Amino acid sequence: MDNILRVESLRKNFGGVVALDGLTFEVQKGAIKSIIGPNGAGKTTLFNIISGMYRPSSGGVWFLGESITGSPPYVTAKRGISRTFQNLQLFANMTVRENVMVGRHCRTKTGFLRSALRLPGAAKEEKRTAAEAMDILRFVGLEESAQRGASTLPFGKQRVVEMARALATDPKLLLLDEPASGLNLRETEEIGRLIQKIRDTGKTIIVVEHDMSLVMAISEEVLVLDHGRRIAEGPPRSIQKHPEVLRVYLGEEIPHAQSPES
């Protein structure tokens, strides 16, 4: 079994609006797969369904061979799917390290009673969680900012904190929703390197992204959506020349169009 995720005939309607229209695709284990498409193509809806935020109208999602269709997020997180958000969703009321520690939530287990009584096991787990959060911050290069309030960091760093927090859940599959949006050229390159570094630790990554230079640079495979349907899929180079993709992005070519001079 090579695929880690299989999405089959996935449909999602919001009232009369069809966000996903019978989408089918697979993601290979250990790959970076990018999903591109115009606004409203259904990319974020797809993430919301895979991570369990929405239930699909029909169709299914299989993760590591088991159906996770309609599983709530606290189940999918525990199974090994984590995500970031297009519009940053950091916990502004916490430090950077605490944000990452929340990511450890699904891998730890101290409950109300054990934490109220501060039993030895609870204190030990808390210490370990803090240490693990620091390890992850070191991995993404943010250990210096650990004690700062999450909202006091520059925007580019906040994106990295979101990735660190998602990594803290120990995911097998990481969903990144527009990781480069709002970043400058240098920051985009850095985030690209970080994504590849994460993949090199054995994780599978799906990236929804508009920045084509980033998509072309890091992905093994690209899936192009339009109106909730797959219009192309393949390695980045073949996608660049795909006629359907050009039509969706650039518009239809008018036959026999003439330039004004001639």
Partner 1 sequence: MGKKNLFGLASLVVVLLVVPHLLGNPYYLGVLVWCGIYGLVCMGLSLFMGYCGQISLGHAGFCALGAYISGILTTRFGFSPWPALGVAMLASLLVAFVVGLPTLRLKGHYLAMATLGFGMIIFVAAGGDPFGLTGGPSGFWGIPKLSVFGVVLDSEVKWYYFVWAVVLVCLVALLNIVHSRVGRALRSIHGGEPAAKAMGVHTARYKTQTFLLSAALGSLAGSFYAHYVGFVNPHPFGLNFSIHLLTMVVVGGMTNLWGAIAGTALLTILTRYFRVFMDWGVFFDGFILVIIMLVFPEGLFVGAARRLGGFVSRKRSTGVPGQASRQAAGGG
Adjacent-strand bridge partners of 89:
none
Q: How far is the CB of 238 from partner 1 (least distance, A)?
A: 33
Q: Which long-range contacts (CB under 8 A, 24 or more apart) does 125-131 make?
A: 129/101, 129/104, 130/97, 130/101
On whether the CB atoms of residues 106 and 123 are closer than 8 A, the answer is: no
| Nearest residue to 11 (alpha-carbon basis) of 61, 53, 82, 66 | 61
Binding site for partner 1 (CB under 8 A): 51-53, 72-74, 77-78, 82-83, 85, 89-94, 98, 101-106, 108, 110-112, 115-118, 122, 125-126, 129, 149, 165-166, 168-169
Comparing CB distances to partner 1, the nearer of 52 and 232 is 52
* Between 166 and 245, CB nearer to partner 1: 166
Report in angstroms how near the CB of residue 183 gets to partner 1 at its nearest. 19
Q: Tokens 């795909």 — which residue? A: 242
Q: 3-class DSSP state for residue 242? A: coil
Minimum distance from residue 56 beta carbon to partner 1 (Å): 17
Name which of 102 and 216 has its Cβ closer to partner 1. 102
**Shortest gap between Cβ of 207 and partner 1 (angstroms)?**
16
Evaluate whether 10 touches 61 at the Cβ level (below 8 Å): yes
The residue among 90 and 206 lying less far from partner 1, judged by its C-beta, is 90
Residue 120 or 260: the one with the smaller Cβ distance to partner 1 is: 120
CB of 221 to partner 1, least distance (A): 24
Residue matched to tokens 């991995």: 139
For residue 225, the minimal CB distance to partner 1 (Å) is 21
CA distance 15 to 32: 33
With b for 16 or more beta-carbon neighbours within 10 A and e for fewer, the 211-230 pattern comes to beebbebbbebbbbbbebbb
How many residues comprise the chain?
262
Q: Quick one: 129 or 188, whose CB is closer to partner 1? A: 129
Return the exposure string of 146-172: e unless at least 16 CB atoms fall within 10 Å of the residue's CB, then b: beebbeebeebbbbbbbbbbbbbbbbb
Q: Looking at beta carbons only, is 104 or 230 nearer to partner 1? A: 104
Closest contact distance (angstroms) between CB of 20 and partner 1 is: 19
- For the chain, percent helix, then strand, then coil, each to nearest 5? 40, 25, 35
